[in-house]
Structure 1
């Protein structure tokens, strides 16, 4: 069975992606590992894919998205890195792979993912919910249950499909939705790619909701998952192998929420410390913090989120300014300066 596994990121997340792909390579050396990058290398950084722990790079600009500059401008960095996941997985269905797996760049494997392939013998779509056990504590309900209600029942830091049958049908549907409706707009019922997948069990057959606690462990489900380390070094969660951890919001916020729900479960802190060391080792000093090539107009002026939203909402502006990143006479930037928001 040919497996293609990919992650979507910018260069500011290259350090995390390197850790992900290193752990994937350790457990699954036969999988094809693909980096999907919506970015351009920063000046001063000599990016050579041959030196990286993935097999190849696919640049978002090469996915064949119509009017790419116009489409890209409508999104902030999080929105666009999730939006491109749909076109890629749809195109992967015609790539010769039998299975396509997506993992967020801030995840890392601690055990093999072989059970996924066994489940895909009988199912075409695999999803992991944020929660598999109910919370009883009011604070945990506020932090975790209600958060999942707002952002999506399933965490799309992971999805796996067979590239035929219902898996291929899902990939085409997700492609279409994310090309047009992948925004962080909760009042409109959108939270990037995730809220769409609330519909998946209703719209598609052969869907498996993974209720094994070893998958997609993260701060939002630590209230119901206990991590332990066996004498032989195996890491377990609720008594089963810990397959992969989602180190979301690495930094002060992630630390705060992890400490809040890990409590005295000390192996959690050991895992976070291990991951932080790997990320530090994988960090390139030449990549500026929070770098993204598409964060600014051509003259270097940062693009404000309301400017992207205005362009997204106005088809007349999209028609008038097919490359909204341009600066100078006749540009969208000039129009904003004269017309205002």
Structure 2
């Protein structure tokens, strides 16, 4: 069994549930520990009684060290600060042999066990951004992405995890300072700093808006496949990271602000995500949970411009905004 953990509040609840459902569909044996970062998320998740999940409240999770630094961090910075601590909490509280943290805005298209198996006898798994040249943010956001990171309960694994936790307690902010950025840039030197660190080689683990330009996608026998344009290499897409995805007013979405997406990307990568979110929203409504579990970005002058309304509702998109109906065409 693979043990995962994730964290999110009620504004990310539909995303988190879509991720859970994709794991349920594709992962043969897993358990997900969900750290609910507000009361509404905790209450809603408990009401849903997810069979492969354990819901953990902040009251149960937060320790004295986290509570001490909490007032010095924004909500987003505090989530980053807590990432390493959630993994450590799961390993220690539930006696796990290993735990893999996953971001709430992932969607799985195939069984992630192949990624864990690639570690073999190594104790830490990290994933590279594999940036497209036009979007290379290595100097600011880091070489590696925290999106999917595994630690084994070994001396090497816990040494790296405890170091990361202490570093994040000391400094974890949404700014670049002295070679640091959030919880993520700490990972840059891990292959040299720690023993037993493995950098994921499977291209299908970690496709995201910063590297999607390097690939083409198609479905074969019901499975999502990618092709690396530079090499012609085919690979199964294991998961996609919907970083930056936003809900907007007028039943619209912003798929990937500031990143170039092709029609192929929207069809094969983003349409499944919108459908997954729609399914979650429908389930929540059926359970009489009518709260809004996401943000709503305003579309400039959408109510006052007939031209903009036409583009959004008839053409399906206006600028970076895409109507829900676009993804079912």
> Residue 18 of structure 1 contacts residue 53 of structure 1 at CA under 8 Å; is this kept in 2?
no
Mapped to 2, the partners of 1:91 and 1:7 lie a distance apart of: 12
Which of 213, 218, 227 matches 2:217?
227
Partner of 2:89: 91
User: By how many angstroms is 1:24 displaced?
Assistant: 1.0
**Residue 193 of structure 1 is aligned with which of 183, 196, 215?**
183
Residue 287 (1) aligns with residue 292 (2) = yes
Match of 2:109 in 1: 110
Distance in 2, matches of 1:148 and 1:228, equals 29
Distance in 1 (CA, whole Å) between partners of 2:22 and 2:41 is: 26
Contact 2:118/2:200 (8 A) holds in 1: no
Gaps of 5+ in 1: 292-341
Q: Give the aligned partner of residue 244 of structure 1.
A: 239
Match of 2:165 in 1: 175
Q: How far apart are the structure 2 equivalents of 1:206 and 1:68?
A: 28
Query: d(CA) in 1 for partners of 2:109 and 2:258?
Result: 21
After the TM superposition, which of the residue ranges 117-126 and 9-18 deviates more from structure 2?
117-126
1:152 to 116, 139, 142: 142
TM-score, L = length of structure 1: 0.73
1:243-263 deviation per Cα after TM superposition (whole angstroms, max 9, x unaligned): 0000111136544545x2x43
* Aligned partner (choices 268, 271, 274) of residue 270 of structure 1: 268
Q: Distance in 1 between matches of 2:41 and 2:99?
A: 30
Counterpart-to-counterpart distance in 1, 2:254 and 2:48: 34
**Helix, strand or coil at the partner of 1:216:** strand
CA distance in 2, matches of 1:288, 1:27: 25
Which of 1 and 2 has higher RCO (CA within 8 Å, sep 6+)? 1
CA contact (8 A) 1:127 1:159 kept: yes
Q: Distance in 2 between matches of 1:158 and 1:47?
A: 22
Distance across 2 between alignment mates of 1:109 and 1:155: 17
Report the CA distance shift for 1:65/1:109 in structure 2 as closer, same or farther (over 3 A).
same
Q: CA deviation at 1:190?
A: 2.9
Alpha-carbon distance change, 15 to 54 in structure 1, aligned in 2, over 3 angstroms: farther
In the alignment, the residues of structure 1 paired with residue 185 and residue 219 of structure 2 have an alpha-carbon distance, to the nearest angstrom, of: 35
Q: 1:59 to 1:46 in 2, by over 3 A?
A: closer
1:188 to partner: Cα distance: 4.1
More moved, 49-58 vs 119-128: 49-58
Q: 1:76 to 1:68 in 2, by over 3 A?
A: same
- The match for 2:21 is 22
Q: Are residues 1:184 and 2:183 paired?
A: no
- Please identify which structure carries the higher strand content: 2
Aligned 8 A contact 2:66 2:82 in 1: no
Conservation of the 8 A alpha-carbon contact between 1:129 and 1:210: yes
Q: Confirm or deny: 8 A CA contact 1:184 1:192 kept in the other structure.
A: yes
